[in-house]
Chain A
């Protein structure tokens, strides 16, 4: 407790850094995943045909989803170390974390965005077309809002796992709440380590709650 009181501004600063490194990749990764997933799903079947996909579209969907899943198997530390080589950044640049974690978010979100678009009722889409929606407007006004509930489940997982992965960056010297683990370990300060752990958990809980609330508001139409 004492340690925390004495280092409050420092912990605050690290929390802010941690927050940025968690949120920005989630936003960027989601924005990248949505168009990839939508293209992978392809032209939606109309409401009456029983075949879900043509052979070609099933292949495209499988290829995209599996490639994304493969990205996820790269160890995070390896990705952080690799980034400077690819991006030409310095090893301690936060940009490494942003880009690496964005890749992870894409790996997770493509799958749930594909599921999300497939969860939208073809009858609803078709009736939107029958009323005179043009394709682009139909996407923004009907398809995307209706995909939100399923997408949101994936988003919560991505955000929470991102918050824990940000800490790994501390090992190579990128500042976040994870720095409290490495620093506390080096200086043999259990209090610092505990603050790091509790801080990360609290951050995850708060952000997850917040996302759940935003989600509930966006999908208020679902409660019967």
Chain B
């Protein structure tokens, strides 16, 4: 196969009737799946449904029992496992860094295995540290000296080295605390918008899947692929009861993640003769600093950042002690207030638009 064919083919990876058995246990059951090039495809599903096994069959950390896996159009058994593995990055839940190597040497591992000189491998590693948002002053540290979030960034940088066009990520963010996780998720999306790699991302968290995935593959117990599609398709039309229940009760809320909030009116602060009149928004340096009532200050709820989604708008209203959401610009300066009835009206309008009806 010529290089041009590879680039023309829209799919980076194809599973063709792939089955994996451990003794009598079917870990992956007749998987047929095409993973588009340059996109993030998320494998999501409850624990034990074959996500990790499917991922690891790609780089032959697990050998499949039957069927065929094509990587860039060629069976992944056509080259030796170590060569295949060097051509794709792999990020695990526990970073899996080499404790006895410095950060820069950890990132340089694969280029060094491929025979790149130590000097240019390090130069590349330092650039990658910047790419993933790590201070290069950490370069000479050892993994034991990093926080969990930093270690995961090193893991990502290491996977990006050698220009691997395919990244396999197995629950990479599930062991870090929620705040750091959000940072890492945003960072991954930012990176992807620059680099456009083919990323296969495993998670058991449907919210994470919906947030990160261009495409989502929902796995069901028994190693069965229950549905493959865009996050929106999966939330809107679950293929079966399993997917519907996995996608869960908060489906409606999640769907609002895809809707903009440009319809929601932002009321100026000065119009304080409306329902929130007994509450006063405390503002310091132009930024919200809680609500004042009866002389007491109460911490505020989540903020609606300009350009956010309808879900963010709804949350700002629901979490605010005054029942009134606070909108801020990208610098955190107060823009105005959101009323719950406006937000609800916008969700109604969104629902009508979605189903193309007027009632």
Q: Which residues of A contact B (CB under 8 A)?
A: 46-48, 121, 123-124, 126-134, 142, 145-146, 219-224
| Residues of chain B within 8 A of A121, CB atoms compared | 99
Q: How many residues in B have their beta carbons less than 8 Å from beta carbons of A?
A: 24
Is residue B52 contacting chain A, with contact meaning CB distance below 8 A?
A: yes
Q: How far is the CB of A151 from chain B (nearest CB, A)?
A: 13
Within 8 A of A (CB), among B91-122: 92, 94, 96-101, 109-110, 113
B82 touches A132 (CB 8 A): yes
A26 to B269, CA, bound (A): 80
Q: A131-B110, A132-B110 are in contact. Are A224 and B144 (CB under 8 A)?
A: yes
Binding site for A on B (CB under 8 A): 52, 59, 61, 82-83, 85-86, 90, 92, 94, 96-101, 109-110, 113, 142-145, 158
Closest 5 CB pairs of A and B: A127-B96, A132-B86, A132-B85, A221-B142, A130-B90
Least distance between B48 CB and chain A CB atoms (Å): 11
* B99 and A222 contacting across the interface, CB-CB below 8 Å: yes
Is the contact region of chain A dominated by helix, strand, or loop, or is it mixed? Answer: helix
Q: A129-B61, A131-B110 are in contact. List 13 more A-B contacts (CB 8 A).
A: A46-B61, A48-B52, A123-B92, A126-B96, A127-B92, A130-B61, A131-B158, A132-B83, A134-B82, A142-B98, A146-B98, A221-B142, A221-B143
User: Which residue of chain A lies nearest to B94 when distances are taken between CB atoms in the complex?
Assistant: A123
Q: What are 15 A-B interface contacts by the 8 Å CB criterion?
A: A126-B96, A128-B98, A129-B61, A129-B85, A130-B61, A130-B90, A131-B86, A133-B82, A142-B98, A221-B100, A221-B101, A221-B142, A221-B143, A222-B99, A222-B142
| Nearest CB in chain B: distance from A128 CB, A | 7
Complex CA gap A133/B96 in Å reads 14
A224 contact set on B, CB distance < 8 A: 142, 144-145
A133 B100 Cβ-Cβ under 8 A:
no
Residues on B with C-beta less than 8 A from A223 are 144
Assembled-state Cα–Cα distance A160/B129 (Å): 45
Cross-chain contact B144 with A124 (CB below 8 angstroms): no
Report whether B98 and A222 are in contact in the complex, using a CB–CB cutoff of 8 Å: no
Q: B90 to A127, Cβ gap below 8 A?
A: yes
Chain B residue, CB-CB nearest to A141: B98
A130 CB contacts on chain B under 8 angstroms: 59, 61, 85, 90, 92, 96
Chain B neighbourhood of A126, CB < 8 A:
61, 92, 96
Contacts of B61 in A (CB 8 A): 46, 126, 129-130
Pair A222/B85 contact, Cβ less than 8 Å: no
Give the residue of A124, A132, A220 whose beta carbon is less than 8 angstroms from that of B96. Answer: A124
Cβ contacts under 8 Å, A128 to chain B = 98
Contact assessment for A145 and B100 in the assembled complex, using a CB-CB cutoff below 8 Å: yes
Contact residues in B for A142 (Cβ distance below 8 Å): 98, 100
Closest to B112 in A: A141
Q: Which B residue sits closest to A219, measured CB to CB?
A: B100
How far apart sit A133 and B158, CA to CA, in the bound complex (Å)? 14
Asked if A146 meets B83 with Cβ closer than 8 Å, knowing A127-B90, A131-B90, A133-B113, the reply is no
Known contacts A127-B90, A131-B85, A221 near B110 by CB under 8 Å: no
Contacts of B143 in A (CB 8 A): 221
In the assembled complex, the Cα of A219 lies from the Cα of B100 at a distance in Å of 7
The complex places the Cα of A145 from the Cα of B101 at a distance, in Å, of 10
Q: How far is the CA of A220 from the CA of B141 in the complex (A)?
A: 11
- CB-based nearest A residue for B145: A224
Complex Cα–Cα for A121 and B61 (A): 17
Check A146–B109 contact: CB distance below 8 A.
no
Residues in chain A near residue B92, CB distance under 8 A: 47, 123, 126-127, 130
Which chain A residues border B98 with CB–CB below 8 Å?
124, 127-128, 142, 146
Residues of B within 8 A of A47 (CB): 92, 96
Count chain B CB atoms within 10 A of each CB in A123, A128, A129, A221 and give the residue with the most. A221
Report the separation of the CA atoms of residues A124 and B101 in the bound assembly, to the nearest whole angstrom. 12
Q: Which residue of A lies closest to B62 (CB)?
A: A46
- Docked CA distance A221–B101 (Å): 7
Bound-complex Cα distance A145 to B109 (A):
16
Report Cα–Cα, A46/B61, bound state, in Å.
Answer: 10
Once A48-B52, A130-B90, A132-B113 are accepted as A-B contacts, the answer to whether A221 and B96 lie under 8 Å apart by CB is no
Most A Cβ at <10 Å: residue of B94, B98, B110, B144:
B98
CA distance A46 to B22 in the complex (A): 14
Chain B residues with Cβ below 8 Å from A131 are: 85-86, 90, 109-110, 113, 158
What is the distance, in angstroms, from B36's C-beta to the closest C-beta of chain A?
23
Q: In the complex, what residue of chain A is closest to B90 when comparing beta carbons?
A: A130
Cα–Cα distance between A133 and B82 once the two chains are bound (Å): 6
Query: Which residues of chain A come closer than 8 Å to B142, judged between CB atoms?
Result: 220-222, 224
The smallest C-beta distance from A134 to any residue of chain B, in angstroms, reads 5
* Residue contact A221 to B52, C-beta cutoff 8 Å: no
The answer to whether B144 and A146 have CB atoms under 8 Å apart is no
Chain A residues positioned under 8 Å from B90 (CB to CB): 127, 130-131
> Which residue in chain B gives the minimum CB-CB distance to A142?
B98
Which A residue sits closest to B159, measured CB to CB?
A131
Asked whether, in the complex, the Cβ of A146 is within 8 Å of the Cβ of B99, the reply is yes
Cα separation A59 to B52 with both chains bound (whole Å): 31
Query: Which single residue of chain A is at the shortest CB-CB distance from B82?
Result: A132
